Structures are given as C-alpha cells and as structure tokens.
Amino acid sequence: MEIVPPPQQSTLEERHLCCQAALESGLQNLSSAAVKAGWEEEEVLVALVSLADNMMLSRLADETLLSLLREIHRGRTGGSSGPA
C-alpha cells in the first residue's frame, strides 16, 4: 500500500486532514477484506477504533514512563540520594 506523504507547507489542521485522506483508502480496503472474511461491518469498525485507541494509549504510556525515568535519572545524577 502506497501512502501519500504530507504536504510541504501546511497547517496542523491541513496535515490532519491530509493524513486522514492518505490513510482512508487502505483503511477501507482493510475493512472490506474483514467483512468479506465474515466479520460484521460494525464489529470491524469497533475493532479498528479500539486498536487505534490502544495504540494511542500505549504511546502516551510510553511517553509518561520515559518522562518518569528521566526525572529519576536527574535526581540520581543531581546529587540527590532519593527518598529515605
């Protein structure tokens, strides 16, 4: 599947809309293939939303963990011995 790259000069809103347009065809193809395999369209749509949500939550959790690890490292390298 070929995906169109983002435009060179664009606002955040334009990038958001262009990204949706770039992914739409592939998403529709995936959804159609799942329905053709026997899944109900509503099941497929709920699964796709759940997968996207899980991906975002995982990314946010990773960012939170990295931030916490940086904070711990700064505390150790800054001369602090940490909690007693």
Question: Both tokens of residue 41?
Answer: 């369209």
What are the pLDDT digits (tens) for 9-44? 989 999 999 999 999 999 999 999 999 999 999 999
Residue with the bigger pLDDT between 10 and 50: it is 50
Looking at residue 84, its pLDDT comes to 47
Beta carbons of 32 and 22 less than 8 angstroms apart: no
- What is the DSSP annotation of 40-68? -HHHHHHHHHHHHHHHHHHHHHHHHHHHH
Predicted local distance difference test score (pLDDT) of residue 14: 95
Helix (H, G, I), strand (E, B) or coil at 39: coil
Residue pair 51/44 in contact (Cβ under 8 Å)? The answer is: no
Q: Is the pLDDT of residue 51 over 90?
A: yes
Phi-psi region at 38: left, alpha or beta (left = phi > 0; alpha = psi -120 to 50)? left
What pLDDT, on a 0 to 100 scale, did the predictor assign at position 79?
52
